[in-house]
């Protein structure tokens, strides 16, 4: 007569130890990937801030042409921010000041404000932004008013873009 009851050895499934082993391995893999992910997020925030600054500079150029007025962008490394001023009437443009936040530092700015003429031409310069992991990007405004974002790979790039020989210290 065949036995209709199954023995405990023929049951299928995962034991508690199997589940804990898999969870432990998953936790180890996540902990190994986390530093790389954090660095990627910092780099993304830095590039995003540089792109936002470039867009703001392009908006200022458009304002100068459309309003037939001279505008300038003033930078403050101590406040980690910039402001836009209509030079013709001396009024700040809303938003009065834009900050880069705690994850990006404004480390090098032109000695004079970036000025856009009524024809869209600029007295340009280079603005260097840095993340807390040391990555740097430069936003360059040339004399035609064109704005460009470039990654900085070495101190030679810093000197070429800003005219100063070495990287400024982080805050």
- At CA 105, angle to CA 102 and CA 111, rounded to 5? 145
CA distance 72 to 95: 14
pLDDT at 100: 76
Q: How confident is the model at residue 165 (pLDDT cuts 50, 70, 90)?
A: very low
Least confident of 35-44, 141-150, 159-168: 159-168
Q: Pick the closest to residue 53 from 111, 127, 118, 160 (CA basis).
A: 127
Mean pLDDT of the chain: 81
> What domains lie within the chain, and their CATH numbers?
14-162 (3.55.40.10)
- Indicate whether 134 pLDDT > 60: yes
pLDDT at 163: 53
CA distance 8 to 1: 20
pLDDT at 152: 79
pLDDT at 86: 87
pLDDT tens, 8-67? Answer: 555 678 889 989 999 999 988 888 877 777 777 778 889 999 999 999 999 999 999 999
pLDDT at 142: 93
Are the C-beta atoms of residues 75 and 106 closer than 8 Å to each other? yes
CA distance 150 to 79: 23
């Amino acid at each position: 007569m065949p036995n209709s009851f199954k023995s405990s050895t023929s049951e299928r499934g995962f034991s508690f130890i199997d589940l804990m082993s898999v969870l432990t391995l998953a936790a180890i893999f996540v902990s190994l990937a986390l530093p790389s992910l954090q660095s990627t997020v910092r780099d993304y925030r830095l590039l995003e801030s540089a792109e936002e600054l470039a867009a703001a500079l392009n908006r200022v150029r458009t304002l100068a042409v459309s309003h037939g007025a001279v505008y300038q962008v003033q930078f403050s490394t101590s406040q980690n921010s910039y402001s836009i001023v209509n030079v013709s009437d001396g009024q700040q443009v809303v938003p009065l000041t834009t900050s880069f936040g705690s994850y990006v530092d404004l480390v090098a700015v032109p000695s004079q404000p970036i000025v856009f003429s009524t024809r869209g031409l600029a007295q340009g310069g280079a603005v260097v932004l840095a993340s807390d992991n040391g990555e740097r990007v430069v936003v360059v405004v040339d004399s035609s008013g064109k704005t460009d974002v470039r990654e900085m790979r070495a101190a030679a790039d810093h000197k070429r873009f800003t005219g100063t020989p070495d990287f400024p210290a982080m805050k």
